[in-house]
């Protein structure tokens, strides 16, 4: 099963997002992002004018389809309404939110009490690697939980079959 990460950022941090996505791909982690072409600041996606409610629903679906959310807090992210909205949606869905905070940026109030990954301005690629390694650890833990759950279900199924067979 693919591990999916929704990346929330301001448009000013699109370069960071693109570089982070490349790093995540090397770890087999799929990144999900809003359709930047239309979502950020206007009300169209993919060149098509859309009502704001439809856009919010689409973003909610993308966050729902993810295993966790990376909130990029960089140049413009600490004041971005879109990042705030996406974090609110993620919280409402019970998603794990992992802030990635650029050195010198203020952490938004809604993320203030969380641990975060510090992004070094001088060595951003090292920060992307750190984030990818952490997410890879989460992916491995989830795979283990799924495997254990599968084994438990198999065991319960075998017990049920044994009980049914002994009832004959």
The residues, ordered by sequence, that sit 6+ positions from 99 with a Cβ below 8 Å of its Cβ are 70, 71, 73, 107, 111, 114, 116, 117
Structural domain harbouring 17 = 3-166
* pLDDT band of 168, cuts 50, 70, 90: low
* Residue predicted with more confidence, 47 or 113: 113
Give the integer Cα–Cα distance in Å for 68 and 53.
23
* pLDDT score at 58: 86
Residue 22 clears pLDDT 90, i.e. is over it: yes
pTM: 0.74
% of the chain exceeding 90 in pLDDT: 24
**36-50, 109-123, 141-155: segment of lowest average pLDDT:** 36-50
Q: Domain tally for the chain?
A: 1
Average pLDDT, rounded, for the chain: 80
| Residue 40: count of CB within 10 angstroms of its CB | 16
CATH number at residue 108: 3.40.50.10140
* pLDDT score at 164: 81
């Amino acid at each position: 099963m693919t591990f999916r990460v929704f990346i929330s950022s301001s448009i000013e941090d699109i370069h960071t997002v693109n570089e982070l996505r490349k790093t995540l791909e090397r770890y087999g982690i799929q990144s999900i992002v809003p359709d930047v072409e239309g979502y950020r600041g206007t009300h169209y996606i993919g060149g098509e004018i859309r009502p704001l409610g439809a856009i919010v629903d689409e973003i909610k679906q993308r966050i729902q389809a993810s295993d966790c959310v990376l909130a990029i807090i960089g140049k413009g992210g600490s004041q971005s309404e879109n990042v705030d909205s996406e974090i609110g949606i993620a919280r409402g869905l019970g998603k794990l939110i992992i802030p990635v905070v650029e050195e010198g940026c203020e952490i938004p109030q809604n993320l203030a009490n969380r641990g975060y990954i510090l992004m070094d301005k001088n060595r951003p690629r090292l920060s992307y690697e750190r984030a990818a390694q952490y997410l890879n650890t989460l992916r491995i833990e989830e795979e283990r939980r799924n495997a254990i759950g599968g084994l438990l279900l198999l065991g319960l199924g075998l017990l049920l079959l044994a009980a049914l067979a002994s009832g004959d």
